[in-house]
Amino acid sequence: MSDGNWWKGAVIYQIYPRSFFDSNGDGIGDLCGITDKLEYISFLGVDAIWISPFFKSPMKDFGYDVSDYCDVDPIFGTIDDFKGLVQKAHSLGLKVIIDQVWSHTSDEHPWFIESASSTNNEKSDWYVWADPKPDGTPPNNWLPYFGGGSSWTWSSERKQYYFHQFLIEQPTLNLWNQEVRGAILNSASFWFGMGVDGFRVDATHTFLYDRDLKDNPPRPKGDLVSVDISSDNPQSYQMRLNSGQQPESIQLIEEIRSFVNRYDDRCLLGEVGGEDGMQLMADYSDVNTRFHFSYSFDLLASSLDKKSVESIIRAFEKVQDEDDWWCWSSGNHDVTRVGSRQQHKDLSKKDFALYAMALGLSLRGSFCMYQGEELGLEDVDVAYEDLQDPLGKMFYPKIKGRDGCRTPIPWVKDSLNAGFTTGENTWLPIPDSHRKKSVDQQENDKSSVLNHYRRFLAWRKNKSAMKVGDFTFIETNNHIIAFSRHDDEGCFECYFNSGNVSESVSLDSGRIIDEVSRKAVLSENSLKLDPYGYAFIEK
């Protein structure tokens, strides 16, 4: 592949900066901390890093409420710190992707403060404002992703409601307005000027709303879907067809892509959800004119059993065309860690962590791995008094929010705060169970999850069939997931036992790749896999 499509088949390491490494002892990870650990990431064998928001923010939603698109929040460092990070990443051969949150800002952003001040200022139409109904209630029935109540909040200054898809403190930008579009593209230009190689664009299905403010229709009875973290959210009773995902969003995405094409070797990774997210991903993605690739949520709630994995992939096959490219992920900063989604609880957690790794990295598409997956970390049960996530505080105790997957990385088992910080406290606790899986412990163990990751990524890196080759299912009549990855340069058959007992499949030929296979035995024409075992057969 040329450098221009480096993202195709790439492995991208997601960094949640608050929890990666703290360089100044305040208990919160920062940009210099990321820079200090880039050799670790490079040695892991990934192609790029994706850094979650580090922009200036009041941190009501931990950076996804931006108050300045073109500055670094002081808790993370400075612009110069970011420049140094990019320079070092590039020297190590790592591309740098950053989040861009273009659907909404913080209510402390100067744009919103001006917009809220009156109905006739220069930015009065930069956000979504609407008059109340005659009885004073909100203009329609739209509900937020982040829990009960209306998506509309009253402004006493403007005597109008403003729309927010998420927290009250995250007002929605009016992307129908060309001036707003120009402003976000100016911010994109700023970061490209810093050497950024691409953007992961947040919540793109919420870009545009129905301009007539029509109600969302009710969801068919008995067809509730999980919204964000819980089907308990009343938004799950609605078909979110008017509060977002308007047909004209495609034109906006093409406009953004046209702008990005002015820069060499940059990419756009779109986060796409909403109703019928798979079809929307296909609509929003086009390697030539829209998002280069789209981020899939579909494995993020899966225990990676055969039924769910095969149904997800077959559903994608129905909607994709030759110009679509996906980015798979088994975890991120918003969902339960993959290590805690194991279906067969009595089996080895390490075995499942490695099974999840090998399976995810073998699918057709690019792959985002979330920090700590390479250590086999599981979710943490954070006590109420330690909760930071507004969702956890809102829904506790039934739902504890997203803090469990956001706890700091353990670097040194027997060091203060597991080597994450020299300060007395960490912004979220580090449990003893994570200390036992610290980087220093795993680096010295050839059989560790970390070193299995390193070996697999090193093997995969130069196998074009595994990165960008075609994908064909191989039918089996048991719990083994099987498929081939193939192109003009090679063919590999991939087998994964998702069940809780040993199972076998017949093979007609091929050589097992011992360095990346596990809990697998090939004898004559039969391949036996233990539970969560996997094998790669070179044809």
Residue 199 pairs in a beta bridge with 98, 268
User: Can you tell me whether residue 186 is helix, strand or coil?
Assistant: helix
509 inside domain: yes
Task: Say yes or no: 453 and 493 in one domain.
Answer: no
User: Can you tell me whether residue 71 is helix, strand or coil?
Assistant: strand
Contacts of 73 (CB under 8 A, 6+ apart): 54, 55, 56, 57, 59, 63
Task: Say yes or no: 395 and 479 in one domain.
Answer: no
Peptide bond into 247 cis (omega under 30): no
Q: What is the pLDDT along the chain (539 residues), one digit of tens a residue?
A: 446 799 999 999 999 999 999 999 999 999 999 999 999 999 999 999 999 999 999 999 999 999 999 999 999 999 999 999 999 999 999 999 999 999 999 999 999 999 999 999 999 999 999 999 999 999 999 999 887 789 999 999 999 999 999 999 999 999 999 999 999 999 999 999 999 999 999 999 999 999 999 999 999 887 766 555 455 678 888 999 999 999 999 999 999 999 999 999 999 999 998 888 899 999 999 999 999 999 999 999 899 999 999 999 999 999 988 889 999 999 999 999 999 999 999 999 999 999 999 999 999 999 999 999 999 999 999 999 999 998 888 888 888 899 999 999 999 999 999 999 999 999 999 999 999 999 999 999 999 999 999 999 999 999 999 999 999 999 999 999 999 999 999 999 999 999 999 999 999 889 999 999 999 999 988 999 999 999 999 99
pLDDT of residue 492: 98
For residue 239, the one-letter residue type is M
pTM over 0.85: yes
Q: Which helix (H) or strand (E) holds 504?
A: strand 503-506
Give catalytic status of residue 248 as yes or no: no
Task: Say yes or no: 324 and 293 in one domain.
Answer: yes
Task: Say yes or no: 425 and 523 in one domain.
Answer: no
476 inside domain: yes
Which of 180, 169, 167 has the alpha carbon at shortest distance from 207? Answer: 180
Task: Say yes or no: 23 and 93 in one domain.
Answer: yes
Strand ranges (E), 324-380: 326-329, 366-370
pLDDT of residue 227: 57
Q: How many CB atoms lie within 10 A of CB 41?
A: 20
Q: Which helix (H) or strand (E) holds 381?
A: none
Find out whether 18 and 371 touch, Cβ atoms under 8 Å. no
167 inside domain: no
At which of 458, 483, 501 does a domain end? 458
132 inside domain: no
Which of 133, 173, 175 has the alpha carbon at shortest distance from 154? Answer: 133
CA Rg value for the chain: 23
153 inside domain: no
Task: Say yes or no: 275 and 399 in one domain.
Answer: yes
Find out whether 373 and 349 touch, Cβ atoms under 8 Å. no
Find out whether 393 and 382 touch, Cβ atoms under 8 Å. no
Rounded to whole angstroms, the Cα distance separating 478 from 497 reads: 9
Q: Is 10 left (phi over 0), alpha (psi -120 to 50) or beta?
A: beta
At which of 404, 437, 458 does a domain end? 458
Choose, from 202, 228, 379, 493, the residue flagged as catalytic. Answer: 202
Give catalytic status of residue 403 as yes or no: no
Choose, from 61, 197, 271, 379, the residue flagged as catalytic. Answer: 271
Task: Say yes or no: 219 and 350 in one domain.
Answer: yes
Rounded to whole angstroms, the Cα distance separating 402 from 492 reads: 37
Structural domain including 531 reads: 470-538
Contacts of 80 (CB under 8 A, 6+ apart): none
Angle, helices 349-360 vs 449-461, to 10°: value is 20
Task: Say yes or no: 417 and 279 in one domain.
Answer: yes
Residue 511 pairs in a beta bridge with 538
Place of tokens 């035995």: 521
At which of 434, 458, 482 does a domain end? 458
Task: Say yes or no: 333 and 430 in one domain.
Answer: yes
Q: How many domains does the chain divide into?
A: 2
Task: Say yes or no: 445 and 519 in one domain.
Answer: no
Rounded to whole angstroms, the Cα distance separating 177 from 169 reads: 21
pLDDT of residue 225: 66
152 inside domain: no
Task: Say yes or no: 336 and 393 in one domain.
Answer: yes
Task: Say yes or no: 309 and 414 in one domain.
Answer: yes
150 inside domain: no
What dihedral do alpha carbons 24, 30, 31, 32 form, nearest 10°? Answer: 20
Q: How many CB atoms lie within 10 A of CB 465?
A: 20
Contacts of 371 (CB under 8 A, 6+ apart): 13, 14, 15, 16, 19, 20, 409
Structure tokens at 503: 């199972």
- What CATH number should be reported for the domain holding residue 452? 3.20.20.80
437 inside domain: yes
- What CATH number should be reported for the domain holding residue 503? 2.60.40.1180
pLDDT of residue 232: 67
